[in-house]
């Protein structure tokens, strides 16, 4: 199979037509039934990450969870991951940047650790590279991701099941049609914790430089705090093309 071929036992158009109105639970059940242990998931251990982890591990308790450590995560993110790992006995696979975080700043001319001048370059080498490495080494046939259509314009036209030539796997988005209200209701009903920074106004949580993550003000879009003031809404890992730093 070449990178642009899709496995011929699955017809995404037909699957998407049948899953479009399905609950996240049903979508995960379908994915687990179709891909079994070749299904992994991504988690940033961000604001609402406990939700998809909870849903997925109820169906596949030992599912491999890929976590990317860019070297610039908040300490609270590591603590949160440990909290969830213990509570749900998670099978987390952490993939780290190959760069020493301090050395990278020096080598790339980033003189202020709290601000990135060249976000595209930093995301390409510290986030996208370990993500591609993880997908190459674990070579799953599909992965679960937590994106939602109402988070960003770049996500509005996503399908629940999408072939990714970049990762040679299907990206499956069980929460694609969920609203913030539904997320909140599920979190509450299942007594799931939010990331510790959530209550401090961080609605979407990535890396710690202020150029990359900041708290939002009341009424702001939840993702307004990511790369605030920049023409950027994605770190690039959800873009379905081969890594090209000019596109990230």
CB of 18 to ligand SF4, least distance (A): 36
Nearer to ligand SF4, 52 or 122 (CB): 122
DSSP assigned state of 240: -
How many whole angstroms separate alpha carbon 147 and alpha carbon 232? 16
At 175, which helix (H) or strand (E)? none
Nearer to ligand SF4, 44 or 173 (CB): 44
What percent of the chain is helix, strand and coil (3-state, nearest 5)? 40, 10, 50
- Go through the chain and tell me how many residues it has: 248
User: Alpha helix locations (H) across the chain?
Assistant: 12-19, 24-35, 49-59, 75-88, 101-107, 119-123, 129-138, 180-189
Task: List residues near ligand SF4 by CB under 6 A.
Answer: 70, 72, 116, 119, 122-123, 126-127, 206-207, 209, 212, 235
DSSP assigned state of 178: -
CB of 66 to ligand SF4, least distance (A): 16
CB of 149 to ligand SF4, least distance (A): 22
How many whole angstroms separate alpha carbon 171 and alpha carbon 39? 10
Nearer to ligand SF4, 24 or 225 (CB): 225
Q: Which of 122, 207, 212, 235 is catalytic?
A: 235
How many whole angstroms separate alpha carbon 52 and alpha carbon 173? 10
Nearer to ligand SF4, 70 or 77 (CB): 70
CB of 192 to ligand SF4, least distance (A): 25
Residues 230/116, Cβ–Cβ less than 8 Å: no
Residues 173/145, Cβ–Cβ less than 8 Å: yes
Quick check: is 123 catalytic? no
Q: The tokens of 236 are what?
A: 């690039």
CB of 140 to ligand SF4, least distance (A): 23
Nearer to ligand SF4, 24 or 209 (CB): 209
**Active centre residues (catalytic):** 235
């Amino acid at each position: 199979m070449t990178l642009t071929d899709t496995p011929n036992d699955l017809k995404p158009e037909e699957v998407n037509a049948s899953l479009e109105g399905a609950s996240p639970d049903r979508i995960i059940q379908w994915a687990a039934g179709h891909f079994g242990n070749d299904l992994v998931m991504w988690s940033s251990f961000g604001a609402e990450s406990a939700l998809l982890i909870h849903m997925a591990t109820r169906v596949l308790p030992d599912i491999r969870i890929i976590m990317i450590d860019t070297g610039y995560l908040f300490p609270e993110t590591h603590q949160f991951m440990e909290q969830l790992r213990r509570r749900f006995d998670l099978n987390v696979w952490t993939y780290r940047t190959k760069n020493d975080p301090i050395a990278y700043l020096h080598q790339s001319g980033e003189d202020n650790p709290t601000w990135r001048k060249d976000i595209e370059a930093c995301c390409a080498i510290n986030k996208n590279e370990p993500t591609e490495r993880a997908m190459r080494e674990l070579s799953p046939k599909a992965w679960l991701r937590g994106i939602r259509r109402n988070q960003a314009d770049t996500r509005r036209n996503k399908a629940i099941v999408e072939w990714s030539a970049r990762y040679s796997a299907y990206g499956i988005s069980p929460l694609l049609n969920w609203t913030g209200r539904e997320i909140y209701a599920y979190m509450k009903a299942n007594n799931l914790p939010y990331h510790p920074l959530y209550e401090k106004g961080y609605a979407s949580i990535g890396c710690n430089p202020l150029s990359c993550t900041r708290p939002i003000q009341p009424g702001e879009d939840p993702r307004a705090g990511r790369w605030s003031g920049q023409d950027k809404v994605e770190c690039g890992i959800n873009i379905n093309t081969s890594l090209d730093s000019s596109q990230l």
